[in-house]
Amino acid sequence: MAVPLMQAVRVGRYVVKQHLTGRKRYPLVLMLEPLFRCNLACAGCGKIDYPAQILNQRMSLQECLDADTEAGAPVIAVAGGEPLLHKEMPQIIEGLIARKKYVYLCTNGLLLEKKINDYKPSPFFSWDIHLDGDKAMHDASVCQEGVYDRAIAAIKLAKSKGFRVSINCTLFDGAQPERVAAFFDEAMKLGVDGIMTAPGYAYERAPDQEHFLNRQKTKQLFRDIFRLGKGRKWRFTQSPLFLNFLAGNENYHCTPWGKPLRTVFGWQRPCYLLGEGYAKSYKELMEDTAWDQYGTGAYEKCADCMVHSGYESTAVMDAVRRPWHIAKVAFSGPETEKPMVPEISLANQRPAEYDYDAQVEAQMEKLSASAKPSRGPRVRVNGKAVTSSAEAVGAAE
Ligand code: SF4
């Protein structure tokens, strides 16, 4: 089982409780991005071209814990940027585990050997190593040779020290089902506890715009992979119904509030993939976001999206409503032969809005405002308010 039984029970209990209390929107996984800085520059990444002042920002330990307190999700995925570049990361992880949250620390693995002794194995903690396929696929995806080998070494090291390890595999246009299937076999041989897979989302800022999948291609690719996977015992960390959705068998609509994202900018609207504004608090995010304006069929930027940040929560909620359905899919695997469900119509979607530059400008203004020295008296020496070291010397004399 890719997800430990206790985790499945606790998360299941949480979801049922939300339904029983009639809560319309609730978080399943808190996404935390305590920094955007990375030590790679992947072609499919939409987060690496911020100005240096923004890349130098970090969420503090307290801000990370506060984000957890605000959202209250049972699972937390810490991503970035590269989280292992954050000096307080061991304390952040420890603090979240102490609260009995299931924490996935997403990393490209390059710093894992250097940092691994700062972390302890726990049933509440899992490394989530980025691996977009076999050696050639992954090194092409991260635009650097040798990264695959280091990620594999990181997986082996983490497993040898008793950690739980999953891999995070994003697939792009041109991925070959046979190669992906062979790669999943290899991952299982390495002893990873689970695979998390998804199609790449076409970030408007990603350097490579040519290799993102549309929904039709996504469904065909995953069908072909899952057909090859029959009987091969791959373990996925995702809901069987989400996998069934990827293979074109579920008519799901996006529920982006299921995976809210807190970054150095605040709470991102509406999801992990789109930065269409920021809320100061989780409450404000939930209450003031026009959720109905997002999702496939509602918004042009969502047209090709089938990513877990929008649709996995939908799958989990479906499992609560139709437990017999998830049992059937879990037993027999995603459907690969019957006709796919009809695609959501894009006829009434609203056009995309592009305000990345305005967002960056607003954040830069905030940063320079917070960096300005205060004009008022800052210290008192011998009972006298002083604003400079020269005055302080004079006051002290
Ligand atoms: S469909 Fe949902 S998850 Fe995907 S980009 Fe749109 S709002 Fe985000």
pLDDT at 397: 32
Phi, psi of 15 (to 5 degrees): -65, -45
pLDDT at 373: 58
Ranges of H-type helices in 35-146? 52-55, 61-71, 89-98, 112-115, 135-141
The closest of 113, 31, 37, 35 to 76, measured between CA atoms, is 31
Q: What is the pLDDT of residues 259-316, one digit of tens each?
A: 999 999 999 999 999 989 999 999 999 999 999 999 999 999 999 999 999 999 999 9
pLDDT at 48: 76
Tell me the CA–centroid distance for residue 228 and ligand 1, in Å.
29
Buried b (16+ CB within 10 A) or exposed e, 19-58: eeeeeeebbbbbbbbbbbbbebebbbbbbbebeeebbebb
Whole-structure pTM value: 0.90
Query: Could you tell me the CATH number of the domain that includes residue 190?
Result: 3.20.20.70
160-174, 270-284, 364-378: which range is least confident on average? 364-378
| Residue 169, both tokens | 């595999």
Tell me the CA–centroid distance for residue 322 and ligand 1, in Å.
24
The finding on whether 172 has its CB within 6 A of some atom of ligand 1 is no
Can you name the residues that pair with 194 across neighbouring β-strands? 166
Contact residues for 365 (Cβ-Cβ < 8 A; gap 6+): none
pLDDT at 393: 36
Cα–Cα dist 183/185, whole Å: 5
The finding on whether 275 has its CB within 6 A of some atom of ligand 1 is no
| Residue 351, both tokens | 């056009």
What is the C-alpha R_g of the chain?
23
pLDDT at 355: 85
Buried b (16+ CB within 10 A) or exposed e, 175-197: bebeebbebbeebeeeebbbbbb
Length of the chain: 397
3-state SS of 178-220? HHHHHHHHHHHHHCCCEEEEEECCCCCCCCCCCCCCCHHHHHH
Tell me the CA–centroid distance for residue 271 and ligand 1, in Å.
6
pLDDT at 372: 61
CA 59 to chain centre: 16
pLDDT at 293: 96
Cα–Cα dist 78/30, whole Å: 8
Mean pLDDT of the chain: 91
The finding on whether 310 has its CB within 6 A of some atom of ligand 1 is yes
The finding on whether 137 has its CB within 6 A of some atom of ligand 1 is no
The finding on whether 234 has its CB within 6 A of some atom of ligand 1 is no
Tell me the CA–centroid distance for residue 94 and ligand 1, in Å.
31
Q: Could you tell me the pLDDT band of residue 388, with boundaries at 50, 70 and 90?
A: very low
pLDDT at 204: 74
Give the range of the structural domain holding residue 250, as residue numbers without chain letter: 5-396
The finding on whether 254 has its CB within 6 A of some atom of ligand 1 is yes
Residue 138 has pLDDT above 80, yes or no: yes
pLDDT at 205: 72
The finding on whether 305 has its CB within 6 A of some atom of ligand 1 is yes
Tell me the CA–centroid distance for residue 308 and ligand 1, in Å.
9
The finding on whether 225 has its CB within 6 A of some atom of ligand 1 is no
Bond prior to 270 in cis (omega within 30° of 0)? yes
Q: What is the pLDDT of residues 2-55, one digit of tens each?
A: 788 899 999 999 999 999 999 999 999 999 999 999 999 888 887 778 999 999
Tell me the CA–centroid distance for residue 136 and ligand 1, in Å.
29
Can you name the residues that pair with 77 across neighbouring β-strands? 31, 104
Q: What is the pLDDT of residues 188-222, one digit of tens each?
A: 999 999 999 999 887 777 777 677 788 999 999 99
Cα–Cα dist 391/397, whole Å: 10
The finding on whether 307 has its CB within 6 A of some atom of ligand 1 is yes
Rounded alpha-carbon distances, angstroms, from residue 272 to 18, 281, 309, 329, 378: 22, 16, 6, 27, 40
Q: Could you tell me the pLDDT band of residue 1, with boundaries at 50, 70 and 90?
A: low
The finding on whether 256 has its CB within 6 A of some atom of ligand 1 is yes
Ligand 1: atom nearest CA of 270 is: 7
pLDDT at 340: 97
Rounded alpha-carbon distances, angstroms, from residue 372 to 153, 362, 366, 376: 45, 16, 10, 12
For the segment 145-170, the average pLDDT, to the nearest whole number, is 98
Residue 390 has pLDDT above 80, yes or no: no
Residue nearest to atom 5 of ligand 1 (CA): 302
For the segment 339-357, the average pLDDT, to the nearest whole number, is 94
Q: Quick check: helix, strand or coil at residue 70? A: helix
Contact residues for 48 (Cβ-Cβ < 8 A; gap 6+): 36, 38, 41, 42, 55
The total number of structural domains that make up the chain: 1
Residue 103 has pLDDT above 90, yes or no: yes
Phi, psi of 8 (to 5 degrees): -60, -40
Give me the percent of the chain exceeding a pLDDT of 70.
93
Angle value at C-alpha 66, between 19 and 85, nearest 5 degrees: 115
The finding on whether 271 has its CB within 6 A of some atom of ligand 1 is yes
